[in-house]
Every structure is written in structure tokens, then in C-alpha cells.
Amino acid sequence: MAPRSHRITTLADLRRRIDELDRKLVELLNERSKCALEIGKLKQEQHLPLYQPDREKEVLQNAEHSNQGPLTNAAIRRLFERIIDEARAAERHAMHPDGGPEAAGHEDARNTGKK
């Protein structure tokens, strides 16, 4: 019988693999956030609105087109909506570090019409 050295077979192995993937996800999310903060600076310099619905729609479509499962497109969309919301909050804070009303909370710019 051939050895199963490369096959993940135990609960502990699977949990270690998830922990490794989670660390990578955190690293990637922070890298993405750094890019979003740079975008926020450029938007501020160019007097552009924080919320740009066409770009958000493009990001969501790109994520869904990249999806090969097992997560559904709806699940991917929800995850990316949350990622985008958090990036927007970080941009808002970077654009208004004094803590003015635009920097407060995580209000959803899509629903409030605010920048």
C-alpha cells in the first residue's frame, strides 16, 4: 500500500490547513486595504467621491467571474460587499482623520448617498 504522506486526512491536519489559509487571507486583505488607502488619498487629491458605484459593481462582477466554487456567487458577492464596506470605512477614516461626521461609523454610503 502506498504511503499517504501528501494527503490531509485528520481533523488536526485540516484545521492546520485552515489556520494557514486564514493567515494568508488576513495578509491579502491587509495588502488590499493598503491599496484602497492609496486610492482614498488619490480620490481626496482629485476631489473624487469616496463611493463610486460603477467601480464597486465591476469589483463584484470580477469576483463572481473568478468564482469556481464551492461557494455560490451570492456568497462571494456578500463577502466582497463586506470587504468593500470595510475598505470604504478605512478610506473614509484616512480622508477625514479628524473624526468628522464623514469618518464616523460604518454607515453604508450606498444607502445614505453620502461620500
Q: In the numeric block, which cell numbers belong to residue 70?
A: 464551492
The tens digit of pLDDT for each residue in 5-45 reads: 566 689 999 999 999 999 999 999 999 999 999 988 898 89
Q: Is the peptide bond before 70 cis (omega within 30 degrees of 0)?
A: yes
Q: What are φ and ψ of residue 109, in 5° steps?
A: -60, -25
The tens digit of pLDDT for each residue in 34-73 reads: 999 998 889 889 999 888 999 999 999 999 999 999 999 9
- Which residues are CB-contacts of 109 (< 8 A; sequence separation ≥ 6)? 50, 51, 88, 115
Q: Which domains does the chain have, with CATH numbers?
A: 14-106 (1.20.59.10)
Where are the extended beta strands (E) located within the chain? Answer: none
Residue 83: count other Cβ atoms within 10 Å of its Cβ: 16
pTM beyond cutoff 0.75: no
